[in-house]
Amino acid sequence: MFELNTIKKQTESYKPTQNACKLCSPLGASIAYKGFQGCVPLIHGSQGCATYIRRYLISHYKEPIDIASSNFTEDATIFGGDENFKTAVLNIFNSYNPQIIGIASTCLSETIGDDVNLFLHHFLAENKEIDCDFVVASTPSYQGTHIDGFHEAVSAVVKKFAKQGYTQNHINLFPGFVSTEDLRTLKEITSDFGIDSILLPDYSESLDNPVWNTYHRIPAGGTKQADIEKSGSARASIEFGTILNRGSLSGRVKNQSLSGTGAQYLMNKMDVPLISLPMPIGIMQTDAFFEELEKITGKKSPEKYEKQRGRLVDAYVDAHKYVFGKKAVLYGEEDFVVGMAAFLDEIGIELALVASGGESGILETEVKKYCPENRDKVVVREGFDFENIKEWCKESSPDILIGHSKGYYIARELNIPMVRVGFPIHDRIGGQRIKHLGYSGTQELFDTIVNTLIEYKQNTSPVGYKYM
């Protein structure tokens, strides 16, 4: 009887996820792998996993994206995927001639206990003619989100290739999962400061190509292997994000500070100083980024950025009356919503809800740390799905919804104006090129948010008006 009552209580307290506000870990790993030159991602699991990831990424980036698979069948599921793995690696090597094969495990391969590193050891012993490097990331989707998978893959690449040496005149940038335009912006900023930077990863070209005359099996671009090796002798690493991969992936413990990222590995193993910052969205967080660059380079911020900052301050003043006191529901990846929340708090928007599908256990702490104006009002929820967000919107009646396109059905059904940011953007052209970072990215976000609110007011006005 006791057991039945216990089961009943557990069943009553369990709430299934409906339309998750997160994506699978191997998807995040695949994006990270595409940011390294000559790398082909290999999903060790069923064909459906790779097909889903490929289709999802193509819809956002609007580029042809090859994701290989070891194509589990019923036999592989029962007896193990060793033979499938070997066949997949041979096919990739013969068809693509890659520099790196980036392997990401899946729920299925992890559940049956496949030892990918052992498979790889046996494969290389039998195929000595194979001339490429391999990186393995453990990314089962029953632990963690696509962001955990992203950081796991970056960390695996850094651990594989980084070499310690004499400190050189360059810095490492670990931007986290941002847009291709954000990556180009970061490269421009460091170049203007006169310092070389290594982006880990850099998919600004490989996932956002110019037009081709002929098809490229492996798109150009990505961080070079020689530069990954140099990351161990950088003057410093700047890492955007304060939550990072402190989720449950690979058995990590919630609320525990762990040295799981590539930047943390370089600090602990190769003595590369680490500067951790929230994503530089908004004036305050961008100021913090530029202050660190000034310290590292010993140079004052270029006049170009002083002017960008000044124009942004002027825009804040001009449009303050349109945004102050408006209520927003914000959702997305944990580190991304921390940066966005800091910016929204800065411009006077009240955060009715900040939600994420991630489950780090520290999202509320981090959001409130960077939202001094909203600290006592903001409601933060992790482990939320879109049905949770929808119900919240029904009750709180926000003025604006801010997040990626998966939440569009909520905006449509409840008639809430929406601003699309982050990943994925499936229902607009240019989603991969939305700029979020720096003064210029903040300026574009600010203008978009203000104009979205003005347009909604115009459209719902009983008389209409042409002047503000």
pLDDT per residue as tens, the chain (468 positions): 445 454 444 444 546 677 889 999 999 999 999 999 999 999 999 988 999 999 999 999 999 999 999 988 877 677 668 899 999 999 999 999 999 999 999 998 898 888 999 999 999 999 989 999 999 999 998 888 999 999 999 999 999 999 998 888 999 999 999 999 999 999 999 999 999 999 999 999 999 999 888 888 999 999 999 999 999 999 999 999 999 876 544 444 333 334 489 999 999 999 999 999 999 999 999 999 999 999 999 999 999 999 999 999 999 999 999 999 999 999 999 999 999 999 999 999 999 999 999 999 999 999 999 999 888 899 999 999 999 999 999 999 999 999 999 999 999 999 999 999 999 999 999 999 999 999 999 999 999 999 999 999 999 988 877 777
| One domain, residues 359 and 433 | yes
Residue 292 counted as domain residue: no
Say how far apart CA 226 and CA 133 lie, in whole Å.
Answer: 13
Rounded (10°) angle between helices 180-192 and 438-460: 140
**Sheet hosting strand 196-199, strand order edge to edge:** 196-199, 170-174, 236-240, 274-277
- Which residues have C-beta within 8 Å of that of residue 269, sequence separation ≥ 6? 164
Tell me the CATH number at 341: 3.40.50.1980
Residue 75 tokens, joined: 């036999």
Structural domains counted in the chain: 2
Residue 86 tokens, joined: 């070997």
Q: Of 448, 287, 256, 285, give the one whose Cα is nearest residue 371.
A: 285
| One domain, residues 306 and 271 | no
Say how far apart CA 182 and CA 364 lie, in whole Å.
Answer: 25
| One domain, residues 330 and 199 | no
| One domain, residues 56 and 196 | yes
Q: Of 433, 424, 421, give the one whose Cα is nearest residue 60.
A: 424
Say how far apart CA 334 and CA 343 lie, in whole Å.
Answer: 15
Contact 106, 218 (CB under 8 A): no
| One domain, residues 347 and 202 | no
H or E element, residue 419: strand 418-420
Residue 232 tokens, joined: 């161990």
| One domain, residues 272 and 330 | no
Residue 200 tokens, joined: 């880990």
Residue 294 counted as domain residue: no
| One domain, residues 223 and 316 | no
Residue 16 counted as domain residue: no
| One domain, residues 370 and 430 | yes
For residue 379, CA distances in Å to 82, 149, 341, 384, 402 come to 47, 27, 11, 12, 15
For residue 207, CA distances in Å to 24, 64, 129, 138, 239 come to 19, 9, 30, 23, 21
Last residue of a domain, one of 242, 277, 312: 277
DSSP readout, 163-175? ---S--SEEEEE-
Backbone dihedral angles phi then psi of residue 197, each to the nearest 5 degrees: -130, 150
Residue 6 counted as domain residue: no
Residue 373 counted as domain residue: yes
| One domain, residues 166 and 239 | yes
Rounded (10°) angle between helices 283-297 and 334-346: 110
Whether the bond into 201 is cis, omega within 30 of 0: yes
Say how far apart CA 143 and CA 32 lie, in whole Å.
Answer: 18
Burial class (CB in 10 A: 0-12, 13-18, 19+), 463: exposed
DSSP readout, 73-90? -HHHHHH-SHHHHHHHHH
Residue 2 counted as domain residue: no
| One domain, residues 168 and 99 | yes
Q: Of 224, 188, 192, give the one whose Cα is nearest residue 206.
A: 224
> What's the pTM?
0.93
Structural domain including 77 reads 25-250+260-277
Q: Of 158, 168, 172, give the one whose Cα is nearest residue 269.
A: 158
| One domain, residues 358 and 305 | yes
SS3 call for 271: coil
Contact 142, 73 (CB under 8 A): no
| One domain, residues 267 and 404 | no
Residue 187 counted as domain residue: yes
Residue 176 counted as domain residue: yes
